[in-house]
Structure 1
Amino acid sequence: MNQELIDLAVERGRLIERISSQRQRLGQELQPIGEALQGADRVLASVRKGCGYVQEHPEVVAVGVALLIVVQPRRVWRWSKRGFVAWRTWRMVRSQIADLGLLTPRR
């Protein structure tokens, strides 16, 4: 019986060592993904900060849009149509993803 406990302790030690090496290897293999996600987090933080600025200062956006309309209305109209199509497409895709249960619906 005492030998069984020793064998179990030895096996436990081996398993703990194997788990430790697997964790270390996994950390090394996932490092590039972590770096990419940090970059994505920085971009997302910048976008949120920009959205916050726009919400706090809508007059700046209005002046910018008015200036664009005065300067080149044709180009503004073309990009407005593209933006509208992109927005509608995003809403449709988001709705489909929500229907699959991968995202909570937001309306």
Structure 2
Amino acid sequence: MNRKRTRLAERRSLLIAQAAAQRTALATNMAPWRARLALADRGIAAVRYVRSHPALMVGAALLVAALRPRRAGTWLQRGLLAWQIGRRLRSR
């Protein structure tokens, strides 16, 4: 029984050392991606904020329509297209 516990303790310490080495390697490999991932996180947070406040989207659309009526139609069409593409991609 004591021999089994000794082997388990050795195996555990080996696994802990391997996990530490893997964490270090992962941190090194992910360093170049940190800025890009942070930007993606901010984008996701912005989308979630806008989703939780739909009145902001309506207000922005009305403001754009009031300031530039000619271009508003073009931008609204592009926005609708982007929204539809986003819904289709999300549903897959």
TM-score by length of structure 1 reads 0.54
- Kindly, what percent of the aligned residue pairs are identical? 23
Residue 83, structure 1, aligned to residue 79, structure 2:
yes
Let me know the Cα RMSD of the aligned residues: 3.2
Amino acid of the residue matched to residue 18 of structure 1? Answer: L
> How many Å apart are 1:84 and its aligned residue?
1.9
Relative contact order (alpha carbons < 8 A, sep ≥ 6): 1 or 2 greater? 2
2 CA distance for matches of 1:38 and 1:89?
23
> How many Å apart are 1:16 and its aligned residue?
0.9
Unmatched 5+ residue regions in structure 1?
98-107
2 CA distance for matches of 1:46 and 1:87?
15
Residues 23-53 of structure 1: CA deviation (Å, up to 9, x unaligned): 212322333288468613333223434x156
Residue 7, structure 1, aligned to residue 3, structure 2:
yes
Identify if the C-alpha distance between structure 1 residues 94 and 45 changes in structure 2 by more than 3 Å, giving closer, same or farther: closer
Residue 68, structure 1, aligned to residue 57, structure 2:
no
Which structure has more helix as a fraction of its residues? Answer: 2
Unmatched 5+ residue regions in structure 2?
none
